A and B are shown apart, each in its own frame.
Chain A
Amino acid sequence: MSAVTTLDPAINLDTGYNFAYLDERTKRMIRRAILKAVAIPGYQVPFGSREMPLPYGWGTGGIQVTASIIGRHDVLKVIDQGADDTVNAVNIRRFFQRTTGVVTTERTVEATLIQTRHRIPETPLQENQIIVYQVPIPEPLAKLEPREAETKKMHGLSEYGLMHVKLYEDIAKFGYIATTYDYPVMVDDRYLMAPSPIPKFDNPKMNMNPALQLFGAGREKRIYAIPPYTKVESLAFDDHPFEVQRWQQHCALCGAKESFLDEVITDDQGGRMFLCSDTDFCQERRGEVASTAALVERPLSGSV
């Protein structure tokens, strides 16, 4: 596995914990919830979320999902804001290195399992990859109707008029829909779903994606899923079609024009530059990743 890149110093497997930290019974409960989530695309399955050694709101849902599916032969990538080196990503990657000893990577193409907060990688995902999203608020209607007793009914009846009204009010007030991230989607024409706070730039990537997409909300105790090749539609109106962000600038490091760009303040005189938010994508384009030998042909999704 020498071909796989890693940015962390060696972290040894801590044998004081069960593999992937969770006890086996908790994993089984979560695995059953994941299977139901896959069978009912976009539906939020309640699960007995456990307290994790990281705080609620810091990725506990994603961590529990990852811990329940990860195997010894997985190659794990963890990103936050598209970057592998942000503190939350480093901390979560470290947690899995300690508790599973799996190989980690920064390269999207090498990963079998990607845990993410707030981005979908720019490099298209492949069959047999699984992406796990950390979700703060799984309920797409929560900002409009905070009572779960009510939103449960709306999902049951597929009654989403409230959301359409909200989006239409945006158009009336501003001339366009004023939602830029966590932009609601319809999954398989049935369930309204929160894509997690990814920028709406990433929404189109969810549609008919070859990878399995899993979503974990630890504090809110919900798991949901989008199977591969599933229709995922961002809400829009005929006269106001869905649009994604575009930049006038291009990445100051790699020159990309088609990737999501972060604005970086360079001085206190208003100086700024734009950089790819997906650090792996940017490095690959700059040829900064040592050319890696072809990865060992891996069996199905980390299983043996």
Chain B
Amino acid sequence: MSTINIDHVDAGFSDTTQASQQVFRLGLHVFARPGTLVEVPSDAVAPKGIGAAANALLLALLDQDVSLYLAPQRSAAATYYRFHTGCTLASIPSEADFVFVGIEDEMPSVETLKMGTEYAPDESATMVREVSLIEVGVGMTLTGPGIQTETRLMVPELDTAFAQTRSEIASLLPRGVDIFLTCANQLCGLPRSTRIGV
């Protein structure tokens, strides 16, 4: 990896140990209860175009053992995560363990991401998707593990094309991709086990 000019890297967590635990715990909470919205506290300075929640999540979960895909224009963010977490950078989404997609980034097709195998479905990508709005109680219906009866979720970026692709890959379960939805400091989970209806 090329050397990093640390003069131009923004600050990560001031207390990595405690902040990572808190952010992970919120991530665990929303993955275990899809459709629940939480606010993520973070004192890290996020790279431009990456919301506080998405940034905190990436800072908390990445390290030398995993790779991250960022849209090609996000070179400052690439330097930032390389520096703070030691993660490697994937040049194409299909090779990445973590895929960040910003509002203005092109959304890679979910079916091209790592989905694991039927024997090792865990060897799959986790997507962190920054969106313009997350509204709970309206929109598509969510059912499945973590949801007592059903819940509703409205996200403008997750359009009918997304719903179509996701219902297609749902037939490949347990293979799949797990998604964190973020909007500024808000965080919501959409693991593969969640069934989406319209």
Asked whether any CB of A lies within 8 Å of a CB of B in the complex, the reply is yes
Residues of A within 8 A of B (CB): 18-19, 24-25, 27-29, 31-41, 43, 45-46, 68-72, 152-153, 155-157, 188, 190-191, 208, 210, 212, 225-231, 300-304
- The answer to the question of B124 belonging to the interface, with a C-beta cut-off of 8 Å to chain A, is yes
Known contacts A36-B122, A227-B32, A304-B22; is A41 also within 8 Å of B193 by CB?
Answer: yes
Is B82 in the interface zone, CB < 8 Å from A? no
In the complex, the answer to whether B20 meets A301 with C-beta atoms within 8 Å is no
Instruction: List 12 additional contacts besides A191-B174, A212-B28; criterion CB under 8 Å.
Output: A24-B17, A25-B64, A28-B60, A32-B61, A33-B122, A39-B192, A43-B122, A71-B21, A71-B25, A152-B119, A188-B144, A228-B32
CB-nearest residue of chain B to A187 = B145
**Residues on B facing A (Cβ under 8 Å):** 16-18, 20-29, 31-33, 38, 41, 60-66, 117-122, 124, 126, 144-148, 173-174, 176, 178, 191-193
Q: A19 touching B66 by the CB < 8 A rule?
A: no
A229 touches B145 (CB 8 A): yes
Interchain CA distance A156-B176 in the complex, whole Å: 14
| Alpha-carbon distance A286/B170, docked complex (angstroms) | 51
Q: Looking at A31, A39, A41, which has the most chain B CB atoms within 10 Å of its CB?
A: A39
* Pair B66/A41 contact, Cβ less than 8 Å: no
Which residue of chain A is the closest to B86 with respect to CB atoms? A25
Our pick among B20, B120, B124, B145 for the contact of A28 (Cβ within 8 Å) is: B20
- Measured CA separation A90–B178 after assembly (Å): 38
Q: Which residue of A lies closest to B85 (CB)?
A: A28
Q: Give the distance in Å from the alpha carbon of A227 to the alpha carbon of B31 in the complex.
A: 8
Q: How far is the CA of A149 from the CA of B123 in the complex (A)?
A: 17
| Complex Cα–Cα for A19 and B64 (A) | 21
The complex places the Cα of A190 from the Cα of B21 at a distance, in Å, of 30
Q: Which residues of B contact A39 (CB under 8 A)?
A: 31, 176, 178, 191-193
A46–chain B nearest beta-carbon distance, Å: 8
A123 CB to nearest chain B CB (Å): 20
Chain B residues near A155 (CB-CB < 8 A): 119
By the criterion CB–CB under 8 Å, are A31 and B24 in contact? yes
The answer to whether B118 touches A69 (Cβ under 8 A) is no
Complex Cα distance, B148 from A45, in Å, reads 25
Q: Contacts of A68 on B, CB cut-off 8 Å?
A: 24
Pick from A40, A229, A301: contact of B146, CB under 8 Å:
A229
- Measured CB to CB, the closest approach of chain B to A292, in angstroms, equals 25
CB of A225 to closest CB in B, whole Å: 8
CB-CB nearest in chain B for A154: B119
Give CA–CA (A40, B145) in the complex, Å. Answer: 9
Is A304 in contact with B41, judged by CB distance below 8 angstroms? yes
